[in-house]
Amino acid sequence: MSSSRALSLLSRNGSRLSSTRGKAHFTFQPSTTLPAALQSMEKSKMNLMQSVNEAMRIAMETDDSAVLFGEDVAFGGVFRCSLDLQKKFGKDRVFNTPLCEQGIAGFGIGVAAAGATAIAEIQFGDYIFPAYDQLVNEAAKFRYRSGNQFNCGKLTVRTTWGAVGHGALYHSQSPEANFTHTPGLKLVVPRGPIQAKGLLLSCIRDPNPCIFFEPKILYRLASEDVPTGDYTIPLGQAETVRAGKDLTLVAWGTQVHVALEAAQMAKEKLSVDVEVIDLQTIQPWDEDHVVESVQKTGRLIVTHEAPISSGFGAEVASTVQKRCFLNLECPIERVAGYDTPFPHVHEPFYLPTVHRVFDAIKKSVNY
C-alpha cells in the first residue's frame, strides 16, 4: 500500500525538478561569526578548493616531512585542490600514485608509521572501499594492537564526499557511517572554506589517523572571506551556526546549508526558532554540545544525505534519547537519504531537501 503522503512529498520535490535542473538543491550560507582568535586575521576571498589548497600548503611549509600523494594530485588534482603544490614542494613531496586505492591507503599507513606526515588523497569517497580494509583493520588498530609502540597518527586521508547534482551511484556517496563504526579513526566533514582550512590543518597535525571528507559540490560553490594565516579549528567540537530555542537541528557538510534554509523557512512560516548545529567532527562527536542544546529546546532532528538506516543520525538520536529522555517534547526525527543506492536520474527525490527537513520541523513542533 503506497502512502499518498509520500507521493505528495515526492512530487513536491519533483515539480522543482524541471526548474532547478542544473542548480544546487541549497544555497551556500557563509559563516557569519568567527572564533575570536580569527576575527583580527587578514582575510581573502576563497572557495573550498582554494582553502583546502591553502591548508595543505601551510601544512607542508611548517612540516618538512609532509608528503601528499594520490591519483592525479601532481598536476593539481581533478578538483584543483593540489594546484601548484608540486611546483612549490617538489616531486619527492607531491606525487601521483597509480590507480590503486588499497595501495594508496596501505602505503600511507606505512609512510605515517615510519614518521612522515602522510596526506593521502582518495579521489572520490565512492572509491574508498578497496581501501576499507587498510583503514579499518590497519590504520584504526595499529596503536591499539602494538600497545602504543607503533601508530600511524601522521596519516590523513582526504577524500571527496556527497551529492553533486549529477554524480549518480558512484560519485555521490557519503560513506562516513561506514567508518564511525570503527574506533581508532577520526572523521571530519567541513561545511565551508573557513572550517575546511582550520579542520584540515587540525587533522594533518592530529596524532591520530583522520579521514577528511570534502563536500565536492562546495568546491567552487562555497566562497567566503577566509583568514589567510595559519590557524586550526579544534577537532571534536561542534558549532552552533544558528541559535534558537524551539528545536535543535543537527547536520554536517553540505546539509548544514539545507538545515539553515529550513530553519529560516520555519521562522517565517511557523514562527519556530530552530537552532542549527554543525557537528564538524563526526568521530569523536561533540555529544555535550548537542545534549545541552536539546536540554534547552526539547526537540531534535538530525539530517544527512547518507541512507537513513545506520546513518550517523542513528547514533546521535540514540545518545540524545538516553541523555535527554525527560527533556524531549517529541520523538527524535531523522531526515536522510532513502535506503536505496544513490540514484541516477531520481537524485532530486532522494536528497533530504529543505522541504523534507521543514516537514520534519513542522511535525516535531506540532506533536
Task: List residues near another protein by CB under 8 A.
Answer: 1-3, 5-7, 9-11, 14, 22, 71-72, 75, 78, 96, 98-100, 102-103, 126-127, 129-130, 165-171, 307-309, 331, 333-340, 343-346, 349-350, 356, 359-360, 363
Instruction: Name the minimum Å distance from CB 336 to another protein.
Output: 6
Q: What is the DSSP string of 226-257?
A: EE-S-----TT--EEEE--SSEEEEE-TTHHH
Instruction: Name the minimum Å distance from CB 226 to another protein.
Output: 26
Q: Is 171 a catalytic residue?
A: yes
Nearer to another protein, 2 or 149 (CB): 2
Instruction: Name the minimum Å distance from CB 340 to another protein.
Output: 5
Nearer to another protein, 323 or 338 (CB): 338
Q: Is 101 a catalytic residue?
A: yes
What does the block give as the cell for 328? 524531549
> Residue 10's CB: how many other CB atoms inside 10 A?
16
Nearer to another protein, 7 or 37 (CB): 7
Instruction: Name the minimum Å distance from CB 54 to another protein.
Output: 23
Closest of 27, 102, 75, 34 to residue 256, by C-alpha: 27
Q: Which of 25, 171, 257, 355 is catalytic?
A: 171
Nearer to another protein, 190 or 352 (CB): 352
91 secondary structure, DSSP code: T
Q: Which of 54, 71, 101, 138 is catalytic?
A: 101
Nearer to another protein, 64 or 339 (CB): 339
Cα–Cα distance measured from residue 152 to residue 112, given in angstroms and rounded to the nearest whole number: 5
Instruction: Name the minimum Å distance from CB 195 to another protein.
Output: 27
Q: What number of CA atoms fall less than 13 Å from residue 121's CA on the CB side? A: 28
Q: 221, 165 in Cβ contact below 8 A?
A: no
Bridge partner residues of 121 (DSSP): 70, 158
> Residue 170's CB: how many other CB atoms inside 10 A?
12
Cα–Cα distance measured from residue 82 to residue 80, given in angstroms and rounded to the nearest whole number: 5
Tell the residue number behind the cell numbers 611549509, with chain if given: 61
Could you list the active site residues? 101, 171
